[in-house]
Amino acid sequence: MASEQSDVPSLYAAREPIFPKRISGRFRSLKWAIMAVTLAIYYVTPWIRWDRGPAMPDQAVLVDLANRRFFFFWIEIWPHEFYFVAGLLVMAGLGLFLFTAALGRVWCGYACPQTVWTDLFMTVERWIEGDRNARIRLHRAPWSLAKARLRGAKWAAWLLIAVATGGAWVFYFTDAPTLARDLVTLNAHPVAWLTIAILTATTFVFGGFAREQICIYACPWPRIQAAMMDEDTLTVGYRDWRGEPRGKAAPSTTKGDCIDCMACVNVCPMGIDIRDGQQLECITCALCIDACDEMMDRTGRPRGLVGYLALSDETAERAGAAPRPLLRHVLRPRMIVYAGLWSGIGALLVAGLVLRSAVDMNVTPVRNPLFVTMSDGGVRNAYELRLRSKQHDPRSYVFAVTGEGAEALTLTVEGEPAGAVTVPADQTLTRRIYLTAPPGAALAGGETSPITLTVADTDGPARSSVQTVFHGRNLQ
């Protein structure tokens, strides 16, 4: 039995460490710029202040879980307006479809947090341990004081970045300066500590050690993207018709342009060889393009042996034609449909934001009893009112009832003899309201009559109306 088991090949393969080499070039510069912008947005945003008035949070971007609000500069989203967030998520999904259909896994290669933080961790690693060859030597060297010092410095730097990353995340959920003070004085809520600890650990492990394994094994996107790409999608590829047969010899009629220098492989953060064709592991970071272009420049060959190319261009390119221009690949019916849907949803969201009222009203007729006959023969209906004022200062609201015969109705608000209510800034007020029809009124002797209740801000344009009913005495 034991010998049978030992004959079975192991399905486990240990990770082969990857030591990407430093490279400069157009795409590397673009990646630096995107990295700087995305990291700056992430770390700085919670510290931007935004004056909304004395009773309101002054943090520009805040997910206020305690009060169930989302603040984004001048926009405030309440829980019942979650459709705005849903709309944004749909737009993000469509945007991803659009970019993937046009440029393959451009999100993975440039803007995915896993890519950005791994890139940051690799940069720190390079500063401390040196470039590819120095890191390979260090990896193979036995443990020594020098190796321990370099590894310790690297891990300490990674840990600092990981703590800053976890720390920045919690600042989005509460007032950042207050939480920072609470963290420094060790008075922060345990949930804040726990969140920081979890995000610190995941950032440290994902960016420092798991790296490309997250992209290959944990992320579903590489599998999904294949369904979104077609033969017109521009993606990073190797022009084998130009490069093969590869070889180290000087340019000749018997050799292709690839000098087999391995520069494209050595810079690849996924550790793959683009000359083997398109692979699931490729995140289209385009660093191999920079590496190969540098080699082509050095050897006096034309750039673009490794470059962005589309399957639909291959036949023509093999025959010696130039690739079609970028716009011909991007302006396709599919892309126009995606862009149209994206813009349509965006326009609807903007219209919804602009047109929404600063006050919302919910009115629920009390059903038990449906009406009360007063001692004088009049009929009274009661309603549960929820008045949501999204204004940033206390506001006074008055009510009006309209409908056939509604002019005879008298409206009173429980606990508010003046009939008007004052709602504190950004709060919801609940009250019971009563509508009373005098004895001889048509609504008092009728069945169920539709009416409209309107609330209006006494000092501003905000108003809201709801349709409801008034139950008369003849109700069957």
Task: Give the footprint of ligand SF4 on this chain (CB under 6 A).
Answer: 236, 238, 243, 258-264, 267-268, 270, 272, 274-275, 282-288, 291-292, 295, 305-306
Write down the least CB distance from residue 272 to ligand SF4, Å: 5
Write down the least CB distance from residue 67 to ligand SF4, Å: 44
Task: Estimate the share of the chain in helix, then strand, then coil, as percent rounded to the nearest 5.
Answer: 45, 20, 35
Residue found under tokens 């007032």: 175
Write down the least CB distance from residue 268 to ligand SF4, Å: 3
Q: Which is nearer to ligand SF4, 225 or 464 (CB)?
A: 225
Q: Which is nearer to ligand SF4, 67 or 213 (CB)?
A: 213
263 in Cβ contact with 291 (< 8 Å)? yes
Write down the least CB distance from residue 305 to ligand SF4, Å: 5
Write down the least CB distance from residue 100 to ligand SF4, Å: 15
Q: Which is nearer to ligand SF4, 286 or 437 (CB)?
A: 286
Q: How far is CA 335 from CA 93, 96, 278, 308, 454, in A?
A: 14, 11, 22, 18, 45
Q: Which is nearer to ligand SF4, 56 or 295 (CB)?
A: 295
Q: Which is nearer to ligand SF4, 77 or 286 (CB)?
A: 286
The tokens describing 18, both together, are 């990857």
Write down the least CB distance from residue 282 to ligand SF4, Å: 3
How many whole angstroms separate alpha carbon 58 and alpha carbon 55?
9
Write down the least CB distance from residue 2 to ligand SF4, Å: 43
Q: Which is nearer to ligand SF4, 299 or 402 (CB)?
A: 299
Q: Which amino acid is at 287?
A: L
Q: Which is nearer to ligand SF4, 115 or 464 (CB)?
A: 115
Q: Which is nearer to ligand SF4, 258 or 462 (CB)?
A: 258
Residues with Cβ within 8 Å of residue 19, at least 6 apart in sequence: 132, 135, 136, 139
- Phi-psi group of 73: left, alpha or beta (phi > 0 → left; psi -120 to 50 → alpha; rest → beta): left
**166-169, long-range: CB < 8 A, 24+ apart:** 166/195, 166/196, 166/197, 166/198, 166/199, 166/200, 166/203, 167/196, 168/42, 168/43, 168/46, 169/195, 169/196, 169/199
Listed residue (399, 463, 397) closest to 435, CA to CA: 399
Write down the least CB distance from residue 176 to ligand SF4, Å: 36
Residue found under tokens 């451009």: 106
Residue 246 is classified by DSSP as P
399 in Cβ contact with 411 (< 8 Å)? yes
How many whole angstroms separate alpha carbon 250 and alpha carbon 270?
29
